[in-house]
Structure 1
């Protein structure tokens, strides 16, 4: 696998993160027909119309997965965290629980609406 192959990231993750990331990947790729996947900065990147839209990554200390939203500063969902980021916000995900599909759908719909403005 090449460094640009997103599959390498998923295969390198320990469980339960691997299953969580793979489920998130499928959810994102099925969310909208104009979403594609690549690797940027060593992370899986999901692009909307060839422009970075969100990333999957994990916390350095806890290893807990999260969804990083590029246009986070324009999103107002209460479950998003800004931290010390100027532009992006994250949505933390517990890999030992079912994906919060409803919350993810709300956040992704809001992020899509921001890009469609």
Structure 2
């Protein structure tokens, strides 16, 4: 298993399946330009080799989250900065339906900031 696979398989179910679904959705949203790397012990997604987002677990909120690069330029009430300078996080509530369209919207917004 590669380090990315190991990262996800260390997570208990049902969170693992949810995060693997999100991973697949993010990668398939732009097959030609979004790639995945393993940096700082986390799965990072890159757009044209530039940081896009990553997944992690918040001990403070007791939830997994997606952290978006250029989050400082995104002004959406669902995103939390928590003192981060360049990133904002979106908490993933495993008890609710995942707002895929909202996550893909955030990704499209970050991609626009990467292009400029």
Superposition TM-score, scaled by structure 2 size: 0.90
Q: Where does structure 1 differ by over 3 angstroms across 4 or more consecutive aligned residues?
A: none
Name the counterpart of 2:26: 28
TM-score, normalization by structure 1: 0.90
1:1-117 → structure 2 map (5 Å cutoff): 1-2=1-2, 5-32=3-30, 33-117=32-116
Deviation of residue 46 (structure 1)? 0.4
Task: Compute the displacement of 1:97 (Å).
Answer: 2.2
Q: Any unmatched runs of 5+ in structure 1?
A: none
Shift of residue 106 of structure 1? 1.7
Q: Could you say what the CA RMSD is over the residues aligned between the two structures, in angstroms?
A: 1.4
Instruction: Determine which structure has the larger strand proportion and give its number.
Output: 2
What SS does the corresponding residue of 1:21 show, helix, strand or coil?
helix
Unaligned runs of 5+ in 2: none
> In the alignment, is the contact (CA less than 8 A) between 1:17 and 1:64 conserved in 2?
no
